[in-house]
Copies of this chain bind each other. A is one copy, B any other.
Amino acid sequence: MALTVYGANASPFVRKVRVALAEKGVEYTLDQINPFAPPPEFLLISPLKRIPVLRDSDLPEPNTLPDSSIICDYLEQKYPNPPLYPKNAYQRARALWFEEYCDSVVATNIGGGLFFERIVKKLLRQQPDESVAQKTITEKLPPLFDYLNKEVSGREFVAGDAFSIADISIGTMFVNYAHAGETIDAGRWSELAKYIARVHARPSFKAVIDEESPMMRSLRAA
């Protein structure tokens, strides 16, 4: 039994899997893959060219699984404790819904519109377009933050009565928001700001944030 996560540590999807592994207390190795120039053999194990991919020597050849959502579901089957998916059918559906919401529209905007412009383009030696970042911040993200602020309001966890895949999925996107140099406006979205602060203070999140932040700070300053 040896687990390897292939991915890049600034990816919100790679972080999602790493936080799930940490919450479950499972050891693994992180093997960095550049998603913009993956080795040719990577496409064989990730047909959609996505990171992360999990390698688990217990899996049939080629011992790998792609896609963060599928990897997290697999980890839940293999390491059921502590559970990261609510047992109640409605709360489970609610958790999967927030995972999907973040993996799609929140990722497109925080990951694509903001983090990609300000950070990834520097890594790729492309010219960042700050107008895209500004439009994302002023137009695209506010309705999403309104929705999330309402949904976390009055709740310790967004789905059910324990920390779940939903909290991981929301939390990981806001790590990239912070990496891009942004802070949630606590005057406008006070519940969301408090919720994200709680999620990011968990040891599972704090460890990856501490690991990633120095490089992100230098990239912002570059």
For A91-128 the 0/1 string (1 means CB < 8 A from B) is 01100110011001100000000000000000000000
Say how far A11's CB is from chain B's closest CB, in angstroms. Answer: 17
Asked whether A221 is an interface residue with its Cβ less than 8 Å from the other chain, the reply is no
Say yes or no: A77 contacts B65, CB within 8 Å.
no
* Cβ of A69 under 8 Å from chain B: yes
Could you tell me if A47 and B96 are in contact, using CB atoms closer than 8 angstroms?
no
CA distance A67 to B48 in the complex (A): 21
Q: A47-B147, A48-B104 are in contact. Are A59 and B96 (CB under 8 A)?
A: no
Say yes or no: B59 contacts A97, CB within 8 Å.
no
Contact with B along A57-82 (1 / 0, CB 8 A): 00110000111011101100110000
> Interface digits, A5-40 against B, CB 8 Å rule (1 contact, 0 not)?
000000000000000000000000000000000000
Instruction: Tell me if A96 and B77 are in contact (CB < 8 A).
Output: no
**Oligomeric state, in number of copies?**
2
B69 touches A92 (CB 8 A): no
Residue A186 is within 8 A (CB to CB) of chain B in the complex: no
Q: How far, in angstroms, from A222 to B182 measured CA to CA in the complex?
A: 52
30 A-B pairs with C-beta separation under 8 A:
A47-B101, A47-B147, A48-B100, A48-B101, A48-B104, A59-B90, A60-B90, A65-B93, A65-B97, A66-B97, A67-B96, A67-B97, A67-B100, A69-B96, A69-B100, A70-B93, A70-B96, A70-B97, A71-B93, A73-B92, A73-B93, A73-B96, A74-B89, A74-B90, A74-B92, A74-B93, A77-B89, A77-B92, A77-B93, A78-B89
Given A69-B96, A74-B92, 7 new contacts (CB under 8 A): A48-B105, A60-B90, A70-B97, A71-B93, A73-B92, A74-B93, A77-B93
